[in-house]
Amino acid sequence: MATMVAEPPRVESRVNYLNASYGVKSWLLTTDHKRIALLYLVSITFFFLIGGIAATIIRLHLISPTGALVEPATYNKLFSVHGIIMIFFFLIPSIPAVLGNFLVPMMIGARDLAFPRINLLSWYIYVVGGLFTLYAILAGGVDTGWTFYTPYSSTYSNTHVLATGIGVFISGFSSILTGLNFIVTIHKMRAPGLTWFRLPLFIWAHYATSVIQILGTPVVAITIVLIALERVLHVGVFDPKLGGDPLLFQHLFWFYSHPAVYIMVLPSMGVVSELITCFSRKRIFGYEFVAFSSVAIAVLGFLVWAHHMFVAGISIYAGLVFSILSYLVAIPSAIKVFNWMATIYKGSISYDAPMLYALGFIGLFTMGGLTGLFLANLGVDVHIHDTYFVVAHFHYIMVGGALMGYLGGLHFWWPKISGRLYPDKWARFAALVIFLGFNLTFFPQFILGYLGMPRRYAVYPPEFQVLNVMSSAGASVLAVGYAIPLIYFIWSMRYGPIAGPNPWKAKGLEWSTSSPPPTDNFEQTPVVTEEAYAYGD
């Protein structure tokens, strides 16, 4: 790196979206989808840091069975903040609002999203929602967990549930508007010749994600409104004393929050399809199957929510129905993994950093998905429900899956976004550190879970200590792994070598324009004449 610092590379003089105009106003009032993507990038990185700090304190605290750092009440606020921030303010907007915002119009050959001003509005809504949540944290925190289970959240908690609820409610509309924009854009603004079955799989994945965003999010929004009304007015929608049913809350909550997992992981799958094809120089194996499996996951994902409630007291009949439906959603995920494997088979595989993340995604997502089969199982779930087994499982999906995909995508398109290259050696090193740190953090938690350690415990029996210490050690490795890309991305913005329009020799419309792209993306509207991923030609 030292040799590169010596002389900042020559800046390309051509006008692009980054240097088209200057000043704070030109950013805060922009309607350019690429600039809005960068606004999102900065804000979600900020929230990732907050969520990450909370996670760090949690893991440090759990080194000792009696709790090393904080009071149990504080611990509860920490895991609540970690969950709320990471899910609603980092993972859900991560790929759609950053990479999706940047790439959806470019990949379909459009000049912008269908509604650029609504796009900017969605960022402001996100920021306002984030500010409410930050206020709640600074004013003393919230301790309901990200699940807001009633009647604890509606009646018993004396923390800032209302401000947090408003924050989550508001940010939900940001997600809805992004999804709405994508759906209309993908339907109405594709370049000439770009038929549905020529679309990159990234677009299919974002289409499926958008469907979940627009149909799921409003349900959690109204549910949060009901909690707020119950807290303020003391009416008893979820209060058993008035005949209310706490389980109704769980139904409404998980109707969104289970599909929300697919909002996080589907775009990641889209990214992986792009990376796998580019770095093995092969067209995707079974295009239609990968494309439709995204849609299938989006639809089936809505039918499985009550597997979060097998021990909550739902009827046996409902348990049976939701268990078998949960198994169905495993199939499209399996189809994707097998198709990716078939794609790299007999490919020409290169190991640039994005590909390492993609391969890491496949491995970790496979493990996350397969452990999901345990939780969908009525017989075994009774034992492992609400234990660390669940914690490990969903971190394999959300961090091992969604976050790996996000980082892979960021590394892949960073040259397009910034016009610069980052140091590849460091990037590969960081990918390795993250993979190892991740497994060290979360694999022991599977064992802890089957042993019976419940989640959300600030103190725990001493025989669980060894595994907890292993997990905490892994978390510190993981933290280092995340810090490295942050440093070299910032470094590369000024000192990175000029990338050129297509450093990976990738296919796809976004690589046919210059890096960074001009404000209108293309000099002239592209015309598509070939299938996606035509690497063989």
Partner 1 sequence: MNQWLNDSISSPWREKLATPEFTHSHQFDDNAQQFEAASLGMWVFLLTEIMFFGGLFCGYAVYRSQYLPSFEAGSRLLNVGFGAANTAVLLASSLTMALAVRAAQTRKGNALMIFVLLTMLLGIAFLGIKFFFEWIPDWRDGVVPGLHWVPTAEVVQHVAGRAGAVLPRVELFFCFYFFMTGMHALHMVVGLGIMTYLLLKARTGALTSGHFAPVEISGLYWHFVDIVWIFLFPLLYLIGGRY
Partner 2 sequence: MSEGTVPVRIYLTIFACLLALTALTTGVAFIDMGPLNTVAALTIAVGKMLLVILFFMHLRHSPRLTKVAVLAGFFWLVLLIGLTLADPLTRHWTPGPSPWDGTTTQPQP
Partner 3 sequence: MVNEGFSSITQSLNGPIAQFLKDMEPAGFPLFPEQASTIAGGVDRLFFFLVLVAGFFSALIFILIFIFAVKYRRRSDDEKPKPIAGSHRLEIAWSVIPLLITFVMFGWGATLYVRNSRPPVNAVEVFVVGKQWMWKLQHSEGQREIDELHVPLGRPVKLTMTSEDVIHDFFIPAFRVKKDVVPGRYSTIWFQATKEGRYHLFCAQYCGAQHSAMTGWVYVMKPADYEKWLSGGGGESMESSGEKLFSRFGCVNCHHADGSGRGPSLVGVFGKPVQLESGETVTADEAYVRESILAPNAKIVKGYPAIMPTFQGQVSEEQLLQLIAYVKSLRTAERITK
- Among positions 10, 22, 25, 379, the unique one binding partner 3 when judged by CB under 8 A: 379
- Among positions 218, 286, 501, 518, the unique one binding partner 1 when judged by CB under 8 A: 218
What's the rounded Cα separation, in Å, for the pair 403 and 258? 17
The least distance separating partner 2 from the CB of residue 100, rounded to whole angstroms, comes to 20
The least distance separating partner 1 from the CB of residue 222, rounded to whole angstroms, comes to 4
| Span 170-189, contacts to partner 1 by CB under 8 A | 176, 180-181, 183-185, 187-189
Question: Which contacts (CB < 8 Å, 24+ apart) does range 120-125 have?
Answer: 120/29, 120/30, 120/31, 120/36, 121/177, 122/97, 122/173, 122/174, 122/175, 122/177, 122/178, 122/181, 123/36, 123/39, 123/40, 123/43, 123/97, 123/174, 125/170, 125/171, 125/173, 125/174, 125/177
The residues pairing with 387 across neighbouring beta strands, listed in sequence order, are 454
- Among positions 60, 121, 127, 215, the unique one binding partner 2 when judged by CB under 8 A: 215
The residues pairing with 420 across neighbouring beta strands, listed in sequence order, are 498
Of 42-50, 217-225, 391-399, 411-419, the segment contacting partner 1 by CB under 8 A is 217-225
- Among positions 19, 53, 64, 115, the unique one binding partner 1 when judged by CB under 8 A: 115
**C-beta of 22 vs 317, nearer to partner 3:** 317
The residues pairing with 498 across neighbouring beta strands, listed in sequence order, are 420
Q: Is 450 in the site for partner 3 (CB under 8 A)?
A: yes
- Residue entry with tokens 């997990």: 471
Q: Is 380 in the site for partner 3 (CB under 8 A)?
A: yes
| Span 127-156, contacts to partner 3 by CB under 8 A | 143, 145, 147, 149, 151-152, 155-156
The b-or-e profile of 313-347 (16+ CB within 10 A means b, else e) is ebeeeebeebbebbbebbebbebbbebbeebbeeb
**C-beta of 248 vs 447, nearer to partner 2:** 248
- Among positions 317, 346, 536, 537, the unique one binding partner 2 when judged by CB under 8 A: 317
According to DSSP, residue 156 is labeled I
| Span 44-73, contacts to partner 3 by CB under 8 A | 72-73
Report whether 37 contacts 97 (CB < 8 A).
yes
What's the rounded Cα separation, in Å, for the pair 114 and 125? 18
**C-beta of 16 vs 45, nearer to partner 1:** 16
Q: Is 463 in the site for partner 3 (CB under 8 A)?
A: yes
Report whether 227 contacts 148 (CB < 8 A).
yes
- Count CB-CB contacts under 10 A for residue 137: 21
User: How many residues in total does the chain contain?
Assistant: 537
- Among positions 127, 162, 215, 247, the unique one binding partner 3 when judged by CB under 8 A: 247
Q: Is 318 in the site for partner 2 (CB under 8 A)?
A: yes
Residue 226, contacted partner among partner 1, partner 3, partner 2, none, CB below 5-8 A by kind: partner 1
The least distance separating partner 2 from the CB of residue 393, rounded to whole angstroms, comes to 23
Closest CA to 413 of 523, 508, 480, 522: 508
Contacts of 473 (CB under 8 A, 6+ apart): 440
Binding site for partner 2 (CB under 8 A): 187, 215, 219, 245, 247-248, 251-252, 255, 302-303, 305-306, 309, 314-318, 321-322
Q: Which residues bind partner 1 (CB under 8 A)?
A: 105, 110-116, 176, 180-181, 183-185, 187-189, 195-197, 214-219, 221-223, 226, 229, 232-237, 241-245, 248, 251-252, 520, 525
